[in-house]
Amino acid sequence: MYVAVKGGERAIDNAHRLLDAERRGAPDVPEIGVEQIAEQLSLAVDRVMTEGSLYDRDLAALAVKQARGDLVEAVFLLRAFRTTLPRLAVSTPIDTASMRVRRRVSATFKDIPGGQVLGPTFDYTHRLLDFTLTGAGRDGHPLDGPPATAPATNAPHVRDENDDADEAAAPPRVMDILARQGLVFEERPEDGRAVGDLTRDPLGFPAARDVRLQNLARGDEGFLLALGYSTQRGFGDNHPFAGEIRMGELAVAIAPEELGFEVEIGDVTVTECEMVNAFKGSKTEPPRFTRGYGLTFGFCERKAMAMALVDRALMARELGEELDAPSRDEEFVLYHSDNVEASGFVQHLKLPHYVDFQADLVMVRAMRAEIARREAAGKDSGTADAADADTFNDGDAR
Amino acid sequence: MSLLDDALLDDALLDDAMMPGAAAFLAEKPAATVDRAATDAGARISTASQNAAQTTAQAAPERDAQYNYAYLDEQTKRMIRRAVLKAVAVPGYQVPFAGREMPMPYGWGTGGIQLSASILGPDDVFKVIDQGADDTTNAVSIRKFFVRTTGVRTTESTAEASVIQTRHRIPETPLTEDQIMVYQVPIPEPLRWMEPRESETRTMHALEEYGVMHVRLYEDIARHGRIATNFMYPVLVNGRYVMSPSPIPKFDNPKLDRSPALHLFGAGREKRIYAVPPYTEVRSLDFEDHPFEVEKWDECCGLCGATDSYLDEVILDDAGGRMFVCSDTDHCAARRAAGHVGPMAARRDLKELADRTAAE
């Protein structure tokens, strides 16, 4: 039977029908709503917005629904939509020091101005399946009833969201405190150079840090997690500490030229991570701390932390470190971080390749015939030609 | 290099809201054609929002007015056309361009799709093939995409097409000056298998440092007694740049040499565009004592009897039965329509295959 991937049009249409039916699932189960995804699968939505490079909760939730929960596919849907959007304005840089924090922790100082805010974290949950979430769920909203109160101790004050000190609104960044003492590298924008944008200009090497950060922000969480992890296991150790991790809301503003002043156009939720890394100095640099930076839309803490590790690893070239680990190899990292590109190219192997395969098939048959002919000739004459034998020693033909 | 002259003379063209069709791109006297095409295009855009049903080209399908013509916004198309002009000016050189995310996955031909989106105009006739066939699933999908977003007329006949987007083949029917081939390219860098780093390979191209490529071909001969590269076989373009002809079988390489058509190559994921302008020398790399050779088959096409076309192997049963048929379905169907009959054309169990290729 002739079974090539042909006969396209009808097959494609029917495949789309089946796909849609699979997405819907059993018809006696109520269909999930986009609002439900946006509200109750919010971390999936956050990841899709971050890697999809588009801050729109509703569209990201729609993408998650359409992709049946396949987040890489959802990222792809959002990116393809993003292509069609006109670029109306470029925002002024956001200032994360002005963030209304919902979570903010530092692993480098016991107490910090503004305090530590745990916020909605999985960190200290016991990973026990909560069977009350099956079926109808629990009665009432989780925040109904009085908040837990702290027993009186001398331990450093760990704030929670119920504290409402003024400084809670926008606590200073931990790294800024260190920077004022000259202990960390200061990142200063280069005068006159516009910030790079790899969605408008193709990636070139060596890549500047702005472009590297953009690439990492769009990059696949799993890829960055593995690379960041590898730096901790000795493939390019950076001695990282989590200087500060903060998550919360901040305003985005644009400054239209014709107005001459800034206009706030909305709020975004972002997660920021600043890693502080010991640096012993080099021929040209005194010992001080370096920093790795991670920023994501929404609450993508794992991604932000991994991104900060990899960002620091990619500074190896500028700091004169050995380029001896995968995480420090900028072509390796930046060319392979994008899951839309990676997913497409890996999966394109299922498209028909029979023309090229036929070319290999023709060659392999010809080579085998040639070898068989020589072997037959060798047996006939009773002596193997030494030169011929050498010709094939390298291959696995025998 | 009349094309380049025309294109550059026609610089104003880049400032039009619309690119005139590829036909105009290649026209001897571009001005008149351009004006007409641009007017058509302008009319098309202005009426699209008011009356989605209105189309300019006779017998052309309706296009989906919810999207910009050919999906991409005009700025993006302009950016891609600039890259195309540069690629034409420097044959075989890989021009970086800011590739966009398309609604098809990387690896499905996004580079070729962006090229087609940037050059297709209302007067064009579009053909899409994958593995030489018009009805392979991805060719069907790409053709549908452009019908929906441009309303372009399509064809399965190589001779009728003004733009042919392809994956892995060049049609058997000789191309003409009025045609543009658009190739989908997975890995544009011919040196990639020897050197994984882009920063290195760009330097090697700049310095014409191609010894490594010859060493690789030599090692093939030393090990296997022959050059064991069968597709994506490297070529030297215009005596300067070593270029990957995309994963076409080396059987198709000679068709590129001094071809009257314009050949555009697009790699979406790798964000590169390159070109072979009309009548450019394209030489497949080889050695004096091991000259370049193409695939040969002992068999002929089972359906049309062709002995000079690229053949696909079709497995007929699980007992080793197989036949060979033309990979280029349009070529095969045209030959059979002209009365050529292959040795297996009369077999009843192959009727479905014959009907399917004949229907094209």
Instruction: Give me the pLDDT at residue B85, please.
Output: 98
For the cut 50, the answer to whether the pLDDT of residue B11 exceeds it is: no
Q: What is the rounded CA–CA span in Å between residue B258 and residue B91? A: 12
Say yes or no: B110 contacts chain A, CB-CB below 8 A.
yes
φ and ψ at residue A309, rounded to 5 degrees: -65, -45
User: End-to-end distance of chain B based on CA atoms, in angstroms?
Assistant: 35
Q: What is the rounded CA–CA span in Å between residue B328 and residue B308? A: 12
**Which residue of B lies nearest to A335 if distances are taken between CA atoms?**
B270
Mean pLDDT highest for which of A155-169, B29-43, B104-118? B104-118
For the cut 90, the answer to whether the pLDDT of residue A288 exceeds it is: no
Q: What is the rounded CA–CA span in Å between residue A215 and residue A203? A: 9
Q: Is B332 a catalytic residue?
A: yes
Local structure of B149: helix, strand or coil: helix
Contact criterion met (CB < 8 Å) for A351 and B247 = no
Q: What is the rounded CA–CA span in Å between residue A242 and residue B354? A: 67
Q: Which B residues 297-336 touch A at CB under 8 Å? A: 297, 310-314, 316, 327
Instruction: Give tens-digit pLDDT for A71-119.
Output: 999 999 999 999 888 888 899 999 999 999 999 999 988 888 888 999 9
Confidence of residue A163 (pLDDT cuts 50, 70, 90): low
* Nearest CB neighbour to B102, from listed A11, A12, A83: A83
Instruction: Give tens-digit pLDDT for B241-271.
Output: 999 999 999 999 999 999 999 999 999 999 9
Among residues B300, B301, B302, B342, which one is catalytic?
B301
Q: Which B residues 139-168 touch A at CB under 8 Å? A: 139-141, 144, 167-168
Q: What is the rounded CA–CA span in Å between residue A301 and residue A289? A: 22
Say yes or no: A388 contacts chain B, CB-CB below 8 A.
no
Number of CB pairs, chain A paired with chain B, less than 8 A apart: 165
Q: Round the average pLDDT of chain B to a whole number and report it.
A: 84
Min distance A337 CA to chain B CA atoms (Å)? 12
Instruction: Please list the residues that pair with A246 across neighbouring strands.
Output: A104, A272
Among residues B111, B112, B302, B326, which one is catalytic?
B326
Min distance B46 CA to chain A CA atoms (Å)? 19
Whole-number CA gyration radius for chain B: 21
Instruction: Give tens-digit pLDDT for A3-29.
Output: 344 566 788 889 999 999 999 999 999
Q: Which A residues 176-215 touch B at CB under 8 Å? A: 198-206
Confidence of residue A319 (pLDDT cuts 50, 70, 90): confident
More confident residue, A373 or B348: A373
Spell out which residues of chain A touch residue B133, defining contact as CB-CB under 8 Å.
6
Q: B12-51: string of b/e by CB count within 10 Å (b at 16+)?
A: ebeebebbbbbbbbbbeebeebbeebbebbeebeeebeee
Say how many residues make up chain B.
360
Best residue in B108, B137, B314, B352 to probe A by mutation, most A CBs within 10 Å? Answer: B137
Give how far Cα B143 sits from Cα of A77, A387, B151, Å: 20, 54, 10
Contact criterion met (CB < 8 Å) for A345 and B168 = no
Characterise B283 by phi-psi region: left (phi > 0), alpha (psi -120 to 50), beta (else): beta
For the cut 70, the answer to whether the pLDDT of residue A53 exceeds it is: yes
Min distance A347 CA to chain B CA atoms (Å)? 8
Give how far Cα A370 sits from Cα of A376, A392, B267, Å: 10, 11, 37
Say yes or no: A138 contacts chain B, CB-CB below 8 A.
no
Instruction: Please list the residues that pair with A251 across neighbouring strands.
Output: A267
What residues contact B84, with CB distance under 8 A and at least 6 apart?
A: B115, B118, B119, B264, B273, B275
Instruction: Give me the pLDDT at residue A9, please.
Output: 77
* Nearest CB neighbour to A340, from listed B101, B251, B312: B101
Give how far Cα A41 sits from Cα of A52, A60, A86, A219, Å: 16, 11, 29, 21
Half-sphere exposure for B214 (CA within 13 Å, toward CB): 11
- Confirm if A307 and A294 have CB atoms less than 8 A apart: yes
Q: Is the four-CA dihedral B326, B327, B329, B330 of positive or negative sign?
A: negative
Contact criterion met (CB < 8 Å) for B230 and A362 = yes
What residues contact A354, with CB distance under 8 A and at least 6 apart?
A: A4, B131, B312, B313
For the cut 50, the answer to whether the pLDDT of residue A330 exceeds it is: yes
Among residues B99, B300, B332, B342, which one is catalytic?
B332
Instruction: Give me the pLDDT at residue B357, please.
Output: 57
Confidence of residue A392 (pLDDT cuts 50, 70, 90): very low
Contact criterion met (CB < 8 Å) for B108 and A344 = yes
What residues contact A49, with CB distance under 8 A and at least 6 apart?
A: A55, A56, A57, A60, A78, A297, A298
DSSP H/E element including B49: helix B30-50
Read off the pLDDT of each residue in A369-386 and give the average, rounded to a whole number.
76
Q: What is the DSSP letter of A91?
A: B
Confidence of residue B231 (pLDDT cuts 50, 70, 90): very high
Instruction: Give me the pLDDT at residue A248, please.
Output: 96
Give how far Cα B159 sits from Cα of A3, A75, B179, Å: 28, 40, 9
Q: Which B residues 65-84 touch A at CB under 8 Å? A: 67-68, 71-73, 76
Instruction: Give me the pLDDT at residue B263, please.
Output: 98
- Give the per-residue SS3 of A373-396: HHHHHHHHHCCCCHHHHHHHHCCC
**Which residue of A lies nearest to B219 if distances are taken between CA atoms?**
A394
The closest alpha carbon to B359, from B326, B336, B325, B343, belongs to B336
* Nearest CB neighbour to A362, from listed B132, B295, B327: B295
**Which residue of B lies nearest to A365 if distances are taken between CA atoms?**
B297
Among residues B21, B92, B151, B268, which one is catalytic?
B92
Q: Is B300 a catalytic residue?
A: no
Min distance A294 CA to chain B CA atoms (Å)? 24
**Which residue of A lies nearest to B226 if distances are taken between CA atoms?**
A367
For the cut 90, the answer to whether the pLDDT of residue B103 exceeds it is: yes
Q: What is the rounded CA–CA span in Å between residue A236 and residue A333? A: 13
Instruction: Give tens-digit pLDDT for A28-47.
Output: 999 999 999 999 999 999 99
Instruction: Give me the pLDDT at residue B48, please.
Output: 37
Q: What is the rounded CA–CA span in Å between residue A77 and residue A74? A: 5
